[in-house]
Chains A and B, each alone.
Chain A
Amino acid sequence: MSIEPGPEAFEPRLLGFLCTWCSYTGADLAGTARLMVPSNLRAVRVPCSGRVPPELILKAFDNGADGVLVLGCHIGECHYDNGNHRAAKRVPTLQSLLAFAGLEPERLRLDWVSASEGERFARIVSEFTEAVRRLGPCHWRWAAMQPEESHLESAGGRR
């Protein structure tokens, strides 16, 4: 379900967990290469995608994230051997639980970006931003909404 676009388009708030060695460096490369990357993504650097515990992803949704993007090294290339294998198991499991809890699983995305893939990073962030934009704001944060945000309510109602 999505909301009608209002007079101000909804800008999703995206949180990204980027691993130090591959995806964060790839994001850096996108920057130095002056590629256009939507500014919706707010990056948090972790040593490895395997460091990301599922409960922190939930906390992100609880605290204002409309979408969470976890990026790690390609399978087989994890700087710490197999941390990304752990992420590859945890995130899809969490996605199915999100559906069970009533949140769209598409709000959580796991992908792989290597240190030399600046363009890939830019593409993934753009795609994800548009996908979450279509989904609309995450309703978990409505409950803690401040009055300033009420314009979104009037723009077309809850989901």
Chain B
Amino acid sequence: MVSVGRHKNIHLLAYSEVEAVSGYVGNFNVRVRRKARYIDAVKCTGCGKCAEVCPIEVHNPFDLNLSLRKAAYRHSAQSVPNAYTIQKRGIAPCRNACPTDQRAQGYIALVRQGRFADAYWAIRREHPFPSVCGRVCSHRCEDACSRGKVDQPVNIMGLKRFVADWAFAHRDELAAQPDKSVVGTPFAQRGPSTGKKVAIIGAGPAGLTAALDLVRIGHAVTVYDQLPVAGGMMRVGIPPHRLPTELLDWEVQLVIDEGVDLRLNTRVSDVPALLDNGYQAVLIATGAHVAKKLPVRNSNHPDNWLSLDLLRRVDLGEPVDLRGRRVAVLGGGNVALDTARTVVRLGAREVSMLCLEPRGEMPGFAWEIEVAEQEGVRLFPGRTFKEIVVKGDKIRGVRCVQIEFHGFKHGRPDIRELPGTEHVLAADLVIWAIGQGPDFSFLPPDGSINTRYPVGIDTDEDMMTTTSGVFCAGDVRRGMTFFVVDAIGEGHRVARCIDRRLRGEKGLPEPQRGPTVELTEEEIRAKLDAGEASRGGRVAIESLPLAERQMNFVEVDLTLTEAQARAEAERCLRCGVCSECLECLSACERGAINHEMQDETVDLTVGTILLTTGFQDFDASRAPEFGYRVLPNVITAMEFERLINSSGPSGGRILLKNGQAPKSVAILHCVGSRDPNYHEYCSRACCMYSLKTAHLVHDYVGAEVYEVYRDMRCFGKGYEEFFNRGEAMGVHFYHGRVSRVEAGPNGNLTVRWAEGFHDQPDQVDVDMVILATGFEPRADTGQVASLFGVSRSRDGFFLERHPKLAPVETASVGIYLAGACQSPKDIPDSVAQAGAAAAAALSLIDQGEIALEPSIAVVAKMRCAGCGQCVAACPYGAIALADGVAEVNGYLCKGCGTCAAACPNKAMTLIHYTDEQVVAEMLGVLRLPSQPGAVPAAEVR
């Protein structure tokens, strides 16, 4: 193998598949797809550090799934090339669903192993504010989670929060560690400066995310915010009972600490001036902080508050006293729920929520609607508000009418008021939470930074506004609100757009992605059966008891414990196999790993093709009489080979399921071979390998060996002598055809057979049974055969042209066969056959020309009507229409004549088998007399 790998004339395309073959001998065009290894095989030294840190373990097919290996693996200790590969099936659906491109499978895999610090760095690679999204996100990742197809999705949001909270608790430790979040990104920390300056207006999720990325590229970034705190809506819009402020403040500080110049309490009112004052780019990320009201009567009474104003006051620590008040919150979304639950905690006597939508269609999270009700919020869905009722100088209530709600059409609600349902809901304070929008008052009055319907700032596909150099991201761009996670995603994207503007061609490109993995239900169940993920149900988040939530803003939802988090992480199915945690990237000292590699297509033009695709083992579980996978200690010979190998799964020791060494072993011949129920043919090599197995068991295991055989096929050089040595060694040979392997008397096994010699037993009790499984064609042999245009014989192996006259050729000139893919055989015969095939191929190369059978099809062009029947009839694609008539490629034509029979005009004929020739022959034989001596009858017509 090494000499093959090193030979200068041999190009080894490993991890590759042939996708298409066309052409003919001398000029075959072969299209090969080289699968991405994600590791450069030339740079890789095979050190294995990537495998050490990889968190994903899968069954190792090289050890016949008897051992585990990592997703970053080397095929075997002696593989050529001796480089590692990363088994990655594609992008996990959770990553595909996340607007920030978060590699969720990565941190989940690390949590599963208890590597919480590594999980934190993995999260932070894409997401600077995990404490927020771990609590308030719409978690599209969970909606896309494959686990959701069979039971409940993995609690990805809960795991993110767990890691964020753990990181906060261990922040001093983390500060002393190297920051691995830049590994695998185009960023560096405190790298060389680019000399460019960027101004960002708004220190919210979009603005700060962009700031972090830009600073990590090397630009100088200043962030302005009119509030006294940074964090935007995350900081002043989410009430503390949902997100404790100190966690967010720490995460924000980490961003600032990487070199962002933060100017709080600063409102920017002249955006274009920034460009004149040394900034090469400006980003507007001011969010949507203006809550809306409806212009109903008395909506301008001072006891009409805006939801966002109240939340901001509470988040900035202002004590607000609402004791004794009766509060009506107008709105049915998450902000209304946040407001209502906040008002409860501020001591209000009564809190009601009124909204247009019926209960089942309220835009707020369903779980939070239930919690709000448990906390005492009264719900009045399906109502429209007509008037704020004022008497004297105080609000008395809200006059509303019940409605039929038919959704929003073109931004306006489609409702029908129900007559006779008008009522006044008593309240003395009304808080509006019906929606919010951006504040555009700081934009230049001349409209040079244009806005557009539905009222966001107008940008092109590079996120630039109508003023060159001014960019926009987040809620202010969209005109309405979406989630924090979307804003972070926009922050990343606008940072790339700004970088491309500042550095031109050196700027960050948009990332490319491969296809997303989609697991079928069957695959999911197979993974669960194989133990790749735990079968447990989704862990439930516990909450503070209601009694402990009174009048305080202590966080309500508790975080997972370490044990719960690890148990939940075990539910992940590892859809992509490689989880993209990028730990391998940190570990590789040669820089050989590249997770952005794509599959490559290579087109080769070759003169000859040799098929040496081998065989597969007969699956002994198809033959229940042998007890494989049913009874313990029944193994196949191939499994024995791996077990006895000192680099195999058991280090060379053969042990029973109970951990002890077997004292007696039976080796059974002809499993799956010579049996009309499975394969009628003899697999040729098993008798000899069974004898070898007997020797190995005798020498290394020291057990008594019983070999049950139907015949001893020792046909080769030294083979019969090897059998005799086995007999001399003390192996017990019993002639018989195994009928059953069953459970034995002492927890061991009993083998029974028929057709035994009269002076021998017909059963034996043993500790272990080894099955000599036969060969069968590989499962994809049919596809490979049609790909290359070769036929198969009845048993499914590739068909040679003639068993004696052309054993390595196929019917297709230029395509040869060698080895077990043609029929079962052992190594010496495979090598000999390979030499024959190579010689045959070489002789073609040597001659430089080939002689073809003369019996090919020809077209009488004058008679051809161009109907194309022949083109369709040809199994070899040898006919094409050219200038409206058929044309036969003499190299491809094999002379079957099907086209000639199909031609309606008799324009096509086959040389040496023309219609005239066949008719002449036919008439000749028909004229022969039936009995000798009689005169032939019937004239020719």
> Chain A residues in contact with chain B, CB under 8 A?
11, 13, 15, 40, 42-44, 46-48, 50-54, 56, 59-60, 62-65, 74, 77-83, 86, 90, 114, 141, 144-146, 148-149
Contacts and interface: CB of A to CB of B under 8 A. Distances in A.
B930 interface: yes
Contacts of A81: 789, 791, 875-876
A42 B928 contact: yes
A13 B357 CA distance: 90
Interface in B917-941: 918-919, 921-923, 925-928, 930-931, 934-935, 937-941
B22 to A, nearest CB: 16
Interface residues of B, number: 38
A51 B898 contact: yes
Contacts of B930: 11, 13, 40
B940 A63 contact: yes
Contacts of A79: 791, 811, 896
A114 B895 CA distance: 19
Contacts of A77: 791, 793-794
A65 B913 CA distance: 20
A46 B918 contact: yes
Given A48-B896, A141-B937, A146-B938, A60 B915 contact: no
Which 3 A/B pairs are nearest by Cβ-Cβ distance? Answer: A51-B897, A80-B896, A42-B925
B938 A63 contact: yes
Interface of B: 789, 791, 793-794, 811, 855, 873, 875-876, 894-898, 900-902, 910, 913, 915, 918-919, 921-923, 925-928, 930-931, 934-935, 937-941
B873 A86 contact: yes
A63 B895 CA distance: 27
Indicate the member of B794, B897, B919 with the most A CB atoms within 10 Å. B897
A78 B923 CA distance: 27
A62 B897 contact: no
A15 B927 CA distance: 11
B806 to A, nearest CB: 12
A97 to B, nearest CB: 15
Contact of B901 (A53, A62, A64): A53
Nearest to B789: A81
A50 B937 contact: no
B921 A56 contact: no
Nearest to B923: A63
20 contacts: A42-B928, A43-B925, A44-B918, A44-B925, A46-B913, A46-B918, A47-B896, A51-B896, A51-B897, A51-B901, A53-B901, A63-B923, A77-B794, A79-B791, A79-B811, A80-B811, A80-B894, A80-B898, A81-B875, A86-B901
Contacts of A78: 791
Contacts of A54: 901
Contacts of A43: 925
Given A11-B930, A13-B926, A50 B919 contact: no
Given A56-B919, A81-B875, A83-B875, A47 B895 contact: yes
A15 B926 contact: yes
Contacts of A145: 937-938
Contacts of B910: 47, 51
Given A13-B930, A40-B930, A80-B875, A59 B902 contact: no
Contacts of A48: 896-898
Given A51-B913, A86-B901, 4 more contacts: A44-B925, A47-B855, A80-B896, A80-B898
Contacts of A148: 934-935, 937
Contact of A64 (B811, B894, B938): B938
A91 B362 CA distance: 69
B493 to A, nearest CB: 53
Nearest to B921: A44
A53 B937 CA distance: 25
A86 B935 CA distance: 37
Contact of B897 (A47, A60, A74, A82): A47
Nearest to A114: B794
A120 B329 CA distance: 91
Contacts of A47: 855, 895-897, 910, 913
A13 B936 CA distance: 11
B900 to A, nearest CB: 6
A18 B901 CA distance: 15
A40 B894 CA distance: 32
A148 B789 CA distance: 54
B860 to A, nearest CB: 15
A144 B936 CA distance: 12
B937 A149 contact: yes
Contacts of B934: 148
A42 B875 contact: no
